[in-house]
Amino acid sequence: RKEVEQDPGPFNVPEGATVAFNCTYSNSASQSFFWYRQDCRKEPKLLMSVYSSGNEDGRFTAQLNRASQYISLLIRDSKLSDSATYLCVVTLNSGGYQKVTFGIGTKLQVIP
């Protein structure tokens, strides 16, 4: 089983739609969780951290389900500019270092 798994998509959604991505992780001791956004041919950029209580930033909501070992990202009222690849990131303290694992990313295409 991969350490971090994401559906690569693509998810094609119309403007204004609500779309949700999930990301599962295999190690129950994982500690920190993030969503990154990567535009085509650009570097990944931090979108938001994911907290146990869930967190919201405008149209974006991130949630963590430790019991089922997944994190989710919900985008409401999708915009054309939301088209990108969304990477989930999971960290784990291992051997005195912080091991960071990236998912392969979920591609979102918002269609006019």
Partner 1 sequence: DVKVTQSSRYLVKRTGEKVFLECVQDMDHENMFWYRQDPGLGLRLIYFSYDVKMKEKGDIPEGYSVSREKKERFSLILESASTNQTSMYLCASSFHRGYTFGSGTRLTVV
Residues that bind partner 1 (CB under 8 A): 8, 32, 34, 36, 42-46, 49, 87, 97, 100, 102-105
Instruction: Give, as one character, the DSSP assignment of residue 13.
Output: E
Distances (CA, A) of 107 to 3, 58, 92, 111: 19, 20, 25, 13
In the complex with partner 1, the residue whose CB is nearer, 72 or 101, is 101
> What's the rounded Cα separation, in Å, for the pair 74 and 18?
7
Least Å distance, CB 44 to partner 1, is 6
Least Å distance, CB 112 to partner 1, is 26
In the complex with partner 1, the residue whose CB is nearer, 17 or 55, is 55
